[in-house]
Amino acid sequence: MSEQDNDTFEKRSRALFQDSVEGLDFALRSRLTQARNAALESAATRRPWALGWKLWTPAAGVTAAAVLGVVLWMGSPLHHQAGVAEAQSSFEDLDLLASSDEGSADAMEMLQDDIDFYDFADKAANPGPAA
């Protein structure tokens, strides 16, 4: 059997097969189209699962990070210490006013001089709207 004969045989068998494919009747073609559509539909119905996973993962990550941040901030020792220090400072100021030997007028004057500083300090400690 020569190579040329093989080549002729291969071409003929390919052509016969192609003819048989093109000769498929309408009913079979229709059933194949239905099968294809069913497969594509099946793939499309599965996709939302992947989509949901894809969309919700970043959102869940951001939420978890936010919750963790709030918990850490609320529970941090710095947060508590700041509150204690603020209370102590108020008592010290009252004590200073009450224990002044030269009367309360001097003390009030001293406070007037530094009013801008206290105003700044208050704004820095409470960045919200001024009370």
Partner 1 sequence: MARFDTLNTAWMVWDSPAPAREGAVLEYTRELEKFLAEIERRAFRMAQVALRDADDALDVVQDAMLKLTRNYASRPSAEWRPLFYRILENGIRDLQRRRTVRKRVMTWLPGPKQDPDNEAQDPLENVADAAPAIPERLMQAQAMQQLEESLRALPPRQREAFMLRNFEGMDVAETASTMACSEGSVKTHYSRAVHALREKLGEVW
Q: Of 33 and 88, which has the nearer Cβ to partner 1?
A: 33
Size of the site for partner 1 (CB under 8 A): 32
Under rule CB under 8 A, residue 67 binds partner 1: no
> With CB under 8 A as the contact rule, which of the stretches 38-46, 61-69, 70-78, 88-96 interacts with partner 1?
38-46
Least Å from the CB of residue 61 to partner 1? 14
Under rule CB under 8 A, residue 24 binds partner 1: yes
Least Å from the CB of residue 9 to partner 1? 5
> With CB under 8 A as the contact rule, which of the stretches 35-43, 74-82, 101-109, 110-118 interacts with partner 1?
35-43
What is d(CA 112, CA 131) in angstroms, rounded to the nearest whole number? 19
